[in-house]
Amino acid sequence: MLKRFTLFDTIYSKKGSGKMSIIASYIVPHPPLILPEIGRGEERQIQKTVDAYDKIAREISDIKPDTIIITTPHSIMYSDYLHISPGKRAKGDFGDFGYRNVSIETEYDEDMAIKISKEAESQGIPAGSLGERNKKLDHGFMIPLYFVNKYYKDYKTVRISISGLSFLQHYEFGKSIAKVAEKSNKKIVFIASGDLSHMLKDAGPYGYREEGPIFDREVTQAMKSGDFIKFLQFDEEFCEKAAECGLRSFVIMTGALDGKGLDSDLLSYEGPFGVGYAVASFKVLGDDENRHLDKIFLDKELQRIESLKKEEDEYVRLARQTLENYVINHKLIKRPDNLSKEMLENKAGVFVSLKLDGSLRGCIGTIFPITESIADEIIRNAISAGLEDPRFPPVTEEELPRLIYSVDVLGQAEEISSIDQLDPKEYGVIVSKGHRRGLLLPNLDGVDTAEEQISIALRKAGIKPNENYKLERFQVVRHE
C-alpha cells in the first residue's frame, strides 16, 4: 500500500528526533450555534466555516499532537495578568447558552503549563496560574475541541486567556510559549480561538459601525498573507470601536511563531449574523530571521515617535521632558524660561495622557488649577501620569522612548441643567455629589453619546444614576 505523504511528514523529517516545537497553528471562531446540537440547522448558514473547521480538525488528526495549546478570550481575564489554567483536568458545558447536556472534558498538560509560567516569569511577563475563580471550561476553548474530538482524542491541552496588557506584551508571552515548546520532546499544535468584529450589520445583535468591516478586511488579509505585523499595528481605540473579540488571542499565537517561516492559508471567512468568523491555517516551514516581528514593530514605532517629536508643541514637549528627566535622573525639571506667556501666566486644569504601543499607559490631571501656571500644572501631572496612576506600574526608563504624550488644557467649567446641553465631541463633563466628583474628557474614541459620557463619569465618581447630582460641562484644548 502506498504511503500518503503530507506537508507534515516533510516538517517532521526536517526536525528529526529529540526536541520538537509548534508544528502548526490555527485561527478559529467560536460561535456556539456552529454545533448542530445548538444551532439546530442554523449552522448551515455558516457552512463554509463548518467545512473549514472539519478540514483543520482532520489535519490535526494527521499530526497527532501530544499537546494542543488554546488561547481564548473567554477564560479568566485580568487587566494586567495572563492566566494559564492550572490543574490536571477540567470540564465545561454550554449551559450559559441553554444546552447543559453538551459538554467537553479535557486533560491538561500540567507540566507544560508550569514551564510556560516559569519562562514568562523569567522574562518579566505577568503570567501564571494564580487567581482562578472558575475552573469551568469556556466556549472559546470547547468549540475547537468539539471539532478536534471528532477525529482525534489522544492529546492534552494548555488553556490560556488573554488580558488587558498591550499587543506587544501578548506577543512576548507567545515567545515564552515557543521557548518551552522548543525544549520539549512533544508535537504541539497551537489554536488561537477568537471571533472578529461584532459590528458588521445593523440587524446583528451588536449593531453596525464602519470600523467593523474594515477590521475584518484588514485582519483576514493579514491571515491570508501571513503578514502578522498588522496584528501589532492595530490601534486599540479602533479595535474597541470594531468590537473585535480575538485579536489578542491571535497575537499570542503570532509571538509563538516568532522567527518562523509559514505556509499561510485563509480557509474561510463569513459574517451572516453580524459577527466575523475566520478559519486560517499556518504550517511552520522552518526558521526565518526576517520574521522577528516584535523587533520590526519596535523599530517602526521608534521611527514614528521620533517623527512625532519633531512636530510636538511646547505643551507636549514639556510633559515629555519632565517625565524623562524625573525617571532617568530622579529630579524635578527646572521650568524652562523660553515658554510662551500663556503657559507661564495662565492657570488651568490640565490632564497629561501617556500611550505605549497603542495602549493607555497613564492619565492623571486636575479639574481645577492647583499650581501657579499651566506650565507648573503640566510638570506636576506629567510625573503623576507616569508614576502615580493606580491602574499601572510606574513607567520605566526602557519605556520612555516609546511613549506618546498628549496634554489637555481645560477651560472654565459651567453648570448645566440638562443632558441636551452636552456634546461628547465638544464638551467634557463633570458630575458631582458632595465630595464625590467624576470627570470625563471630550472627544474620546468609543464615547459617542452624552448618555455614555455621563454614565462613565458617574461610575468614576461612585455616584448612582438615581442620585441627585450636579452636571457641569467644559471645553478643552488638546495638544498632541
Per-residue pLDDT, 6? 47
Question: What's the gap between Cα 159 and its chain centre?
Answer: 17
- 66-70, 255-259, 301-305: least confident range: 301-305
Task: Kindly list the structural domains of the chain, giving each domain's residue range(s) and its CATH number in brackets, ordered by start.
Answer: 7-295 (3.40.830.10), 312-407 (3.30.700.20), 411-480 (3.30.1490.150)
Give the model confidence (pLDDT) of 208-245 as tens digits.
Answer: 999 999 999 999 999 999 999 999 999 888 998 899 99
pLDDT, tens digit (0-9, with 9 covering 90-100), for 270-281? 999 999 999 999
Band (pLDDT 50/70/90 cuts) for residue 48 is very high
Record the cell numbers describing residue 398, joined without a space.
526602557
Where does the pLDDT of residue 15 fall: very low under 50, low under 70, confident under 90, or very high at 90 and above? very low
Cα atoms found within 13 Å of the Cα of residue 314, Cβ hemisphere only: 13
pLDDT at 389: 94
Residue 257 has pLDDT above 70, yes or no: yes
pLDDT band at 365 (very low <50, low <70, confident <90, very high): very high
Q: Which amino acid is at 140?
A: G
Burial 144-160 (b: 16+ CB within 10 A, else e): bbbbbbeebeebbbbbb
pLDDT band at 294 (very low <50, low <70, confident <90, very high): very high
The pLDDT value given to residue 290: 93
Give me the pLDDT at residue 2, please. Answer: 39
pLDDT at residue 5 in the model = 38
284: Cα within 13 Å, side-chain hemisphere: 28
- State the residue for C-alpha cell 488644557: 409
Residue-wise pLDDT tens digits, 423-434? 999 999 999 999
pLDDT of residue 337: 85
pLDDT of 64 over the 80 cut: yes
Give the model confidence (pLDDT) of 317-353 as tens digits.
999 999 999 999 999 998 888 999 999 999 999 999 9
Per-residue model confidence as pLDDT tens digits over 189-206: 999 999 999 999 998 889
| Average pLDDT of the residues in 453-459 | 92
**Model pLDDT, residue 226:** 94
Distance of CA 244 to CAs 165, 274, 448, Å? Answer: 16, 12, 18
Nearest Cα to Cα of residue 262 among 223, 232, 230: 223
Q: What is the mean pLDDT of the chain?
A: 92
pLDDT reading at 435 higher than 80: yes
Mean pLDDT along residues 376-396: 95
Question: Is residue 9 over pLDDT 70?
Answer: no
pLDDT digits 0-9 by tens, 104-151? 999 999 999 999 999 999 999 999 999 998 899 999 999 999 999 999
